[in-house]
Amino acid sequence: MDLIIVESPTKARTFTRILGDDFSIEASMGHVRDLPEKKMSIDLEHTFKPEYVILPSKQATVDKIAKIAKKAKTIILATDSDREGEAIAYHIAFILGHVKEDWPNKPHIKNSDLKRIVFHEITESAIRQALQSPRQLNVDLVDAQQGRRLLDRIVGYKLSPLLWKKMGKRWLSAGRVQTVALRFIVEREKEIEKFKSEPFYRVKTSLNTPDKFVFDAGVDGYKGEVFEKKTSIELFDGTYTFSKTSIMKERAKTIEKDLEGDSFTVTDVDEKVYAKSPPPPYTTSTLQQEASRLMDYSAKLTMSIAQQLYEKGMITYHRTDSVNLASQFITQTTTFVRQEYGEKYASPKQRFYANKSRLAQEAHEAIRPTKADKTPSELEKSLGPRHRKLYELIRNRSLAICMADAQIASLKVKIETKKEYKLSSQFEAIIFDGYLKLYTQKNKSTKLPHIEKGTNLDLLNVTSQENFTQPPPRYAEGSLIKALESHGIGRPSTYAPIISTTIGRNYVEKKEGRLYPTMLGSAVCNYLSEKFPQLFEISFTAGMEDQLDNIAEGKETTVELLSKFYGPFDKTLEKEFKTKDYIDVQEKTDEKCPTCGKPLLLRYSKFGKFFACSGYPDCKFTKSFVETTNQKCPKCEDGDIVVKFTKKKKKFFGCSNYPKCDFATWKLPKGQESTSDKSQSD
């Protein structure tokens, strides 16, 4: 009997359901061979040869697979189609004796009874087609994965001891791409802090037509003067543009007074209908962005759910930067749309989307359902509401591609007064929903108002409202992923671990969906960015990704990449180890030590923030830092709602009177800000 090896038990069960008893199917449970955990295991003096070992936790799995493989006629490696999947397949092949390594030369693959199959969806047709057309292991993809793995190991294992020396904390660690992502967050915080908010006013009128239609119109200008203008400022990661008017308080009062005795006439009416097309299908990046924006899912949670949907055979492979959809799927989905919604809702022609990413080469399709007629409600019964929501997001986006454009009617009205003030108002109405039928359209009009050029209008009211220019927003997970992708940093499989790692190391805190750098994160980032400016520049990190892509395409080797990188890096590292500067990460507080009366300091451990006496080591008083909110517990009405964490560091909110009161919730109501002014003694 042939042996098929996949990564996970869920994937193995789906294969078994599809193929029956024709094959023996085993799961490797992910990587089985890797660099050991507690030492470098890379020959830095010669050819960067890695010292791989079988992971201790996987020894029993490896023994089981090896025993079954001895009896198998053919061994079929069916791991994922990206670089990580190819590397897992490679290491399994090595353990089973099908690979002879000859570092730094390419390994020799013995293909006598070894097959490698790839597919982008776990369906019967895709699997059987893959079994009919196996290929050899792609050693270039494996080399690219090794290149990233070795590069990150060198940076992490070399920089971390430097941070220990400079900060006196042996639990600190540094990452190549994670530090650049952290820098985006830290630099944004600096830009917010130095941003000077300025007041300005907008003036708005309420007008009435002769047939009693009331609408609002904003005041845009006076004679040749335009009130609202755009301002751009250069940020670390690009340009931030915002709009403000030139109207200040006194001018606003003058405009109000002028308009109260003025007359209003419609001078121009621009009415047209335009087509609104559906957005492209999801890539890994855009799925994570939308799940973050619409459902507040973290990138890590989104990828975990998507992995399960893929392994269950519900969606295509979820690590992709392609916006292509298979022609067969489009044909089947268009037929489904005609049957479900009617002929007029089906797109008359197939849509094609240009890929904005310069990376798209690890997968052939965007993320889509394997079958258009698989409904979200069916899924919820077997997996749960979170899976249903994400699947519905993916399904609706994919169905929309095969649906007709929405038709939107637009009406722009320009108004002038006798005193030469200029105003405008705009209306939109959906006259045919098209693909928007899949989405809830709240308060969307289906009819435009009737307003003609030359109409005289009556003023009902005029008001002015004070506004303030807003600093660039802090990153949410979705917007950070978008920024990383736009700069060519990271790849589909790396976005989620990049963000979860910065949060897990206490370098970043997530509050109300936004990412804030901690004092520790800022200190680490500022030090590394100053001392290793090239390594943590956007262009250098993006260029390194391009070089890894070159390795995957056989244009470069891992040894060549590491040779160019390591010399300058090691020289800077050696210089920094010789300097005697020390970075003390602490913050003064207004609290006094109850033991000796000296000020308490806010410090960091690997478990998070805590208070410690500034008189240490003479006074060793400490107490834990507890972040609270401005809410009282709704259950006991006595305790404060405080921020807590699960064993896996997932944030939730609970009552400070626990265990007397067991109130807990994952999410606070909007607008309930957390504060940092309370603590509890150990």
Instruction: Check if 317 is active-site.
Output: yes
Question: Is the separation of the CB atoms in 135 and 111 below 8 Å?
Answer: no
Q: How many helices (H) and strands (E) does the chain have?
A: 17, 27
Under 8 Å CB-to-CB from 650, ≥6 apart: which residues? none
643-656 residues labelled b (16+ CB within 10 A) or e (exposed): bbeeeeeebebbbb
Question: What is the Cα–Cα distance from 367 to 323, expressed in whole angstroms?
Answer: 8
To which residue do tokens 């759910």 refer?
A: 305
Q: What share of the chain is helix, strand, coil (3-state, %, to 5)?
A: 35, 25, 35
Q: Are strands 608-613 and 225-226 parallel, antiparallel or unpaired?
A: unpaired
Would you call the peptide bond into 281 cis, given omega within 30 degrees of 0 as the criterion? Answer: no
The backbone torsions φ and ψ at residue 609, rounded to the nearest 5 degrees and listed phi first, read -80, 150
Of the residues 317, 345, 475, 507, which is catalytic? 317
- Cα angle 668, 672, 677 (rounded to 5 degrees) comes to 110
Question: Is the separation of the CB atoms in 319 and 363 below 8 Å?
Answer: yes
Residues in the chain, overall count? 682
To which residue do tokens 């050693």 refer?
A: 139
Q: What is the 3 state secondary structure string of 334-371? A: HHHHHHHHCHHHECCCCCCCCCCCCCCCCCCCCECECC
Structure tokens given for 341? 């919604």
CA 325 distance to own-chain centroid: 22
Question: What is the Cα–Cα distance from 146 to 143, expressed in whole angstroms?
Answer: 5
Q: Which amino acid is at 614?
A: S
Q: Are strands 608-613 and 599-605 parallel, antiparallel or unpaired?
A: antiparallel
Which residues are known to be catalytic?
Answer: 317
